[in-house]
Amino acid sequence: MTNRTETNVISQLLKRSKDRFEDYLENEVYPFFKKESAPELADAMEYSLRAGGKRLRPILTFASFGKINDDSLSIGAALEFVHTYSLIHDDLPSMDDDDFRRGKPSLHKQFSEATAILAGDALQAYAFDWLTGIDSSDKNLHKDLVRVLAKGAGAAGMVSGQMYDLLLERNPSSLTGTKEELLSKTHKLKTGALIQASFLMGNRLREDYQEREETISEYGAKLGLLFQITDDILDIEGTKEDLGKTPGKDGKSGKITYPSLYGMETCKQMVSDLVSELEELGTDLDTSSSKMEVSEFPEFFQSLPSNIGKRKN
């Protein structure tokens, strides 16, 4: 397959998957929020979810399972709720203090800090509630999904990553380890853990999930690293129009990033190396996906790394 064909395939898969998920939010999620929540809380949650983004984590779930159905959509929604709540809280003045997110005023700027905190809290709770709606005869499915999400999103994953991130910026002397070790640990938890969980949760819906679990876990961890390094590069080279947020803040604040530690040239080589490693892992995953009676994601795992490595936002 040529590079141009690969680009077309992955672009079409990403767009189709994103459109399906947006329809699900429109028809299932937003009406539910309006029915169940205080009006301003429902508006705040919807505001943040409607701000858009790539919907990467739901799409990774769909691809890992191999198709989009009610179950994978429910898992995708749970992951997007967690991801969105983390962005809401990250933008708060006590955290990263960002005024813009996805091209719009951050939630605490549009509403209030108190509303932003409550909207994040509510989205986190809804994430686990959403998983209970999956109808399955597999008695261990719900338990396994909750465990993976809790680990990826909580103190063993994303939340600890944010804690390390704050300490690296504000009180690095309180941490032990080299800057390289601490940066790696921070982003393995803050970014990588939820990306890895997205793959594992989608994979758990498959009958052959145990056969693929080790490979897909490794793929998820490496994709999370690829995503973070490109994110750090874009903070230097990207524009507010492309990123939907203020670029250059990491450098101005003296934050430790991959480019600040390794230099831009080395970071771009790291991206290239990770893309190659992921494409090799993706060959095995695409082969096992093709064994499904109907796979909606042909050659997804081989094509995705290059797309992430070349992204502009």
Examine the pLDDT at 149 and tell me if it is beyond 90: yes
Does residue 313 lie in a domain region? no
Does residue 93 lie in a domain region? yes
Examine the pLDDT at 26 and tell me if it is beyond 90: yes
Does residue 312 lie in a domain region? no
- Gap between the Cα atoms of 127 and 99, Å rounded: 25
Domain of 166? 10-302
Does residue 114 lie in a domain region? yes
pLDDT tier at 294, thresholds 50, 70, 90: low
Q: Give the residue-averaged pLDDT of 123-139.
A: 95
What CATH number has the domain bearing residue 104? 1.10.600.10
Report how many domains make up the chain.
Answer: 1
Does residue 1 lie in a domain region? no
pLDDT tier at 289, thresholds 50, 70, 90: low
Does residue 178 lie in a domain region? yes
Examine the pLDDT at 5 and tell me if it is beyond 60: no
pLDDT tier at 6, thresholds 50, 70, 90: low
Which percentage of the chain shows pLDDT scores above 90? 77
Q: Give the residue-averaged pLDDT of 94-111.
A: 92
Does residue 5 lie in a domain region? no
pTM score, whole prediction: 0.93
Examine the pLDDT at 277 and tell me if it is beyond 70: yes
Examine the pLDDT at 244 and tell me if it is beyond 70: no
Q: Give the residue-averaged pLDDT of 72-93.
A: 98
Q: Give the residue-averaged pLDDT of 222-251.
A: 83
pLDDT of residue 313: 74
**Mean pLDDT across the chain:** 92
Does residue 225 lie in a domain region? yes
pLDDT of residue 226: 97
Instruction: Note the pLDDT tens digit of each residue in 64-76.
Output: 999 999 999 999 9
